[in-house]
């Protein structure tokens, strides 16, 4: 079942990092990015333009300047999204921007400094704190996965031998949208455990890369968290909601330089650029078929030399505002793992109870009390049953030991008889121990299974006191307030522009002329801005078109080269054979060879030699057949034509006369 909500657009926020030391030493020019935090505007200055040229202004849901705190960004722009994930929606946050502008800083930050922890560790805190504070009738299951997309290949970072493992496949299913087949997912019971998962993945990521900086600028990293929550509904049944959170650190958005690269590198650059220009598709794929709340954090650097990239990032972010999503709650999906866990736990518990109850029953028979039926059973707690069962085992052992002792001391019994009875008692004791071991194993399995589920308000010790909770709440309120204020400011700005002519009444013709001239000027300036924008966009298109053409030329050249080789060095019949075996695999977007031997006859790859009609290896005349049967001359034989018997003639040792 899914509840639909009206569509909403991708929330786009922009963050600018401070100038770094190298950039500061480059000159006094300072940054080219200015921000109006109150209005959520970014003003970009073109360092190469004349002062008269108007600056470019972009408006976003929120903007964060060089002084912004990690915490502010989280509280204002991320917290509501995580809250919605905890309520069973899908949520996606991704960082987009040029390499070195703070994507990883925003998503991960510096782990050890609480002030500098990024979105991901803050989300861990948020999720587990929420669970610890929720009501105790809720059960949670939290899972994490970590993967990387490099050259359009998906790699599992939690798979211990991911280095040589095959790339994973992306699949789509109508129930849960796009997913990665066979992706490792780890059940996490605490903040510490999920941090461990993240660390393991980060290390795996660094291991495969020769140059981490270069690698991270070319690959996307996705950390996925699934939160399943089961809660009794009004109908008395347990309902499960599944929230999926995608935390994405995208590859650097800069175009890969293609000048001077060839072969594999050229193809790689072309592929990366292609996958970046298809980012719209990436977003919708990440956002699970657009059913997810989505936040995009576009990161900028303030340095003048990156003006072009910064402008491209801002334009991109501006366009992303228009992407519409339809978030809905995932309620009782078929693939909820929590449901499976609950069923398994219930099954184990039933088994265990049955065992314990049996032991207890036996004990009561031993005690000579008889047993008092089911009513008694139900009133007793689990602990009590367990204790009684243990007691029973102990008593049984003691009794067997006593009986053994008695047998040994019995003077009237034959030695053989004694031996037999003692053996029997031994066996009984062995059975008892085996039984006990099995119970213990079952108990351990049950406890391990149960401990994976987090129960609201229980599993995590919450150290925060009431005051701190109040403080947190106030902080959220303030964040909410700021957000709303900004929205209102933005709305006012838009309305101002629209209603300016309605408010004005003119007392004289002169005044009217003046006012209209002013307005004309304003509109003219706006027109110039838009014209410049159009020109810019055109230029950009021309540039990217030129680049694509260049790539195309280079690829064509390579293709021609390959054709040349084929035509001159490969015999036409060989070429045809190869061509006939080629098929295009649309899933992997690649040409592939069909296997040489059809799949079904794999077991008998060596075909049997056809035999003649009467069963001989080759056609044979009647005469030869008779001759073979007679064992005559070897020329009539179909096989074993040579006789390899030892040559018994004595060696010739006569010396030759010269």
The three-point CA angle 47-50-52 to 5° equals 125
Site of tokens 């899914």:
2
Give 68 or 219: the residue with its C-beta nearer to Mg ion.
219
Count Cβ atoms within 10 A of the Cβ of residue 127 and give its class: 0-12 exposed, 13-18 middle, 19 or more buried: buried
Give 61 or 65: the residue with its C-beta nearer to ligand ADP.
65
Distances (CA, A) of 551 to 274, 324, 650: 11, 33, 81
The three-point CA angle 337-338-341 to 5° equals 90
Q: Could you tell which of Mg ion, ligand ADP, none binds residue 17, using a CB distance below 5 to 8 A set by kind?
A: ligand ADP
Residue 264: in which H helix or E strand, if any? helix 263-277
- Of 31, 100, 302, 327, which one interacts with ligand ADP (CB under 6 A)? 100
Tell how far CA 73 is from the center of its chain.
Answer: 24
Give 106 or 184: the residue with its C-beta nearer to Mg ion.
106
Q: Could you tell which of ligand ADP, Mg ion, none binds residue 101, using a CB distance below 5 to 8 A set by kind?
A: ligand ADP
Strands (E), 233-376: 238-249, 292-300, 324-325, 328-330
At closest approach, how far in Å is the CB of 559 from ligand ADP?
A: 35
CA pair distance 548, 626, nearest whole angstrom: 79
Give 104 or 129: the residue with its C-beta nearer to ligand ADP.
104
Task: List the interface residues with Mg ion, window 555-584 (CB under 5 A).
Answer: none
Of 99-107, 387-395, 484-492, 565-573: span binding ligand ADP (CB under 6 A):
99-107
Count Cβ atoms within 10 A of the Cβ of residue 557 and give its class: 0-12 exposed, 13-18 middle, 19 or more buried: exposed
CA pair distance 173, 177, nearest whole angstrom: 5
Binding residue ranges: 97-104
Structure tokens at 82: 């995580």
Whether 185 and 197 have beta carbons less than 8 Å apart is answered as no
Of 100-108, 131-139, 382-390, 603-611: span binding ligand ADP (CB under 6 A):
100-108
Of 94-102, 350-358, 520-528, 551-559: span binding ligand ADP (CB under 6 A):
94-102
- Of 70, 134, 216, 219, which one interacts with Mg ion (CB under 5 A)? 216
Task: List the interface residues with ligand ADP, window 340-369 (CB under 6 A).
Answer: none
Asked whether position 253 contacts ligand ADP by CB under 6 A, the answer is: no
Give 201 or 456: the residue with its C-beta nearer to ligand ADP.
201
Residue whose C-beta lies closest to Mg ion: 104
At closest approach, how far in Å is the CB of 103 from Mg ion?
A: 5
Asked whether position 118 contacts ligand ADP by CB under 6 A, the answer is: no
Give 62 or 86: the residue with its C-beta nearer to ligand ADP.
62
Burial readout 41-68 (b: 16 or more C-beta within 10 A, e: otherwise): bbebbbeeeeeeeeebebbbbbbbbeeb
Of 51-59, 95-103, 477-485, 495-503: span binding ligand ADP (CB under 6 A):
95-103
Q: Could you tell which of ligand ADP, Mg ion, none binds residue 18, using a CB distance below 5 to 8 A set by kind?
A: ligand ADP
Of 215-223, 237-245, 420-428, 434-442: span binding Mg ion (CB under 5 A):
215-223
CB atoms within 10 A of CB 291: 21
Of 2-10, 96-104, 325-333, 409-417: span binding ligand ADP (CB under 6 A):
96-104
At closest approach, how far in Å is the CB of 11 from ligand ADP?
A: 19
- Of 59, 84, 90, 101, which one interacts with ligand ADP (CB under 6 A)? 101
Asked whether position 97 contacts ligand ADP by CB under 6 A, the answer is: yes
Asked whether position 202 contacts Mg ion by CB under 5 A, the answer is: no
Task: List the interface residues with ligand ADP, window 261-320 (CB under 6 A).
Answer: 299
Q: Which residues pair with 232 in a beta bridge?
A: 238
At closest approach, how far in Å is the CB of 7 from ligand ADP?
A: 30
At closest approach, how far in Å is the CB of 121 from Mg ion?
A: 16
Of 102-110, 414-422, 452-460, 487-495: span binding ligand ADP (CB under 6 A):
102-110
Count of residues making up the chain:
658
Give 84 or 99: the residue with its C-beta nearer to Mg ion.
99
Q: Among positive and negative, which fits the CA dihedral 185, 186, 192, 196?
A: negative
Print the SS3 string covering 433-502: HHHHHHHHHHHHHHHHHHHHCEECCCCCCCCCCHHHHHHHHHHHHHHHHHHHHHHHHHHHHHHHHHHHHH
Question: Among candidates 316, 77, 330, 324, which has minimal Cα distance to 179?
Answer: 330
Binding residue ranges for ATP: 97-104
Number of shown-chain residues binding ligand ADP (CB under 6 A):
11
At closest approach, how far in Å is the CB of 581 from ligand ADP?
A: 44
Residue whose C-beta lies closest to ligand ADP: 102
CA pair distance 278, 320, nearest whole angstrom: 12
Site of tokens 């084929």:
566
Task: List the interface residues with ligand ADP, window 7-26 (CB under 6 A).
Answer: 17-18
At closest approach, how far in Å is the CB of 65 from ligand ADP?
A: 9
CA pair distance 575, 572, nearest whole angstrom: 5
Asked whether position 31 contacts ligand ADP by CB under 6 A, the answer is: no
CA pair distance 459, 449, nearest whole angstrom: 14
Task: List the interface residues with Mg ion, window 71-110 (CB under 5 A).
Answer: 103-104
Asked whether position 90 contacts ligand ADP by CB under 6 A, the answer is: no
CA pair distance 3, 411, nearest whole angstrom: 83
Interface residues toward Mg ion, by CB under 5 A: 103-104, 216
Residues at the contact surface with ligand ADP, assessed by CB under 6 A: 17-18, 97, 99-105, 299
């Amino acid at each position: 079942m899914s509840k639909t909500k009206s569509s909403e657009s991708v929330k786009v926020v922009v963050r600018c990092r401070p100038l770094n030391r190298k950039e500061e030493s480059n000159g006094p020019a300072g940054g080219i990015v200015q921000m109006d935090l109150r209005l959520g505007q970014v003003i970009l200055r073109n360092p190469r333009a004349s002062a008269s040229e108007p600056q470019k202004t972009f408006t976003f849901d929120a903007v964060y300047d060089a002084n912004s705190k990690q915490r502010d960004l989280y509280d204002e722009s991320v917290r509501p999204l995580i809250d919605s994930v905890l309520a069973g929606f899908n949520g996606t946050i991704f960082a987009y921007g040029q390499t070195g502008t703070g994507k990883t800083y925003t998503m991960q930050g510096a782990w050890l400094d609480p002030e500098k922890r990024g979105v991901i560790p803050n989300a861990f805190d948020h999720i587990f704190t929420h669970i610890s504070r929720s009501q105790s009738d809720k059960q949670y299951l939290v899972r994490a996965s970590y993967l990387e997309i490099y050259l359009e290949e998906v790699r599992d970072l939690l798979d211990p031998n991911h280095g040589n493992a095959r790339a994973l496949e992306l699949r789509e299913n109508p129930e849960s949208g796009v997913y990665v087949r066979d992706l490792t997912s780890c059940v996490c019971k605490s903040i510490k455990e999920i941090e461990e998962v993240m660390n393991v993945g980060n290390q795996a990521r660094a291991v495969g890369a020769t140059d981490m900086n270069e690698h991270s600028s070319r690959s996307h990293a996705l950390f996925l968290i699934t939160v399943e929550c089961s809660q009794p509904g009004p109908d008395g049944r347990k309902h499960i909601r599944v929230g999926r959170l995608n935390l994405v650190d995208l590859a650097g958005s800069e175009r890969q330089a293609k000048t001077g690269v060839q072969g594999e590198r050229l193809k790689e650059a072309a592929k990366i650029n292609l996958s970046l220009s298809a980012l719209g598709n990436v977003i919708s794929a990440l956002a699970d078929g657009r059913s997810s709340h989505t936040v995009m954090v576009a990161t900028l650097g303030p340095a003048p030399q990156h003006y072009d990239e910064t402008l491209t990032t801002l334009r991109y972010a501006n366009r992303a505002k228009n992407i519409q999503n339809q978030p809905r709650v995932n309620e009782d999906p078929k693939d909820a793992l929590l449901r499976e866990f609950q069923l398994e736990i219930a099954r184990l518990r039933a088994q265990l109870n049955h065992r314990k109850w049996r032991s207890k029953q036996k004990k009561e028979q031993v005690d000579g009390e008889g047993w008092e039926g089911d009513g008694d059973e139900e009133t007793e707690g689990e602990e009590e049953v367990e204790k009684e069962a243990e007691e029973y085992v102990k008593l049984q052992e003691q009794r067997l030991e006593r009986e053994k002792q008695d047998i040994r001391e019995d003077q009237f019994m034959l030695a053989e008889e004694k031996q037999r009875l003692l053996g029997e008692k031994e066996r009984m004791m062995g059975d008892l121990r085996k039984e006990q071991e099995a119970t213990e194993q079952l108990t351990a399995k049950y406890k391990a299974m149960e401990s994976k589920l987090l129960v609201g308000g229980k599993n995590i010790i919450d150290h925060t006191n009431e005051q701190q909770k109040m403080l947190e709440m106030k902080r959220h309120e303030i964040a909410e307030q700021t957000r709303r204020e900004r929205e209102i400011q933005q709305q006012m700005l838009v309305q101002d522009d629209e209603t300016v002519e309605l408010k004005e009444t003119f007392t004289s013709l002169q005044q009217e002329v003046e006012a209209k001239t002013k307005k004309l000027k304003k509109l003219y300036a706006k027109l110039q801005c838009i014209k410049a924008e159009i020109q810019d966009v055109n230029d950009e298109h021309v540039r990217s078109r030129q680049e694509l053409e260049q790539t195309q030329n280079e690829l064509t050249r390579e293709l021609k080269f390959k054709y040349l080789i084929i035509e001159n060095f490969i015999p036409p019949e060989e070429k045809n054979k190869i061509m006939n075996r080629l098929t295009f695999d649309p899933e992997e977007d690649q040409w592939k060879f069909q296997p040489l031997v059809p799949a079904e006859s794999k077991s008998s790859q060596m075909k049997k030699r056809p035999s003649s009609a009467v069963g001989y290896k080759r056609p044979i005349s009647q005469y030869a057949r008779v001759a073979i049967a007679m064992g005559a001359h070897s020329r009539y034989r179909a096989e074993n034509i040579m006789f390899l018997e030892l040559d018994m003639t004595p060696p010739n040792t006569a010396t030759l006369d010269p």
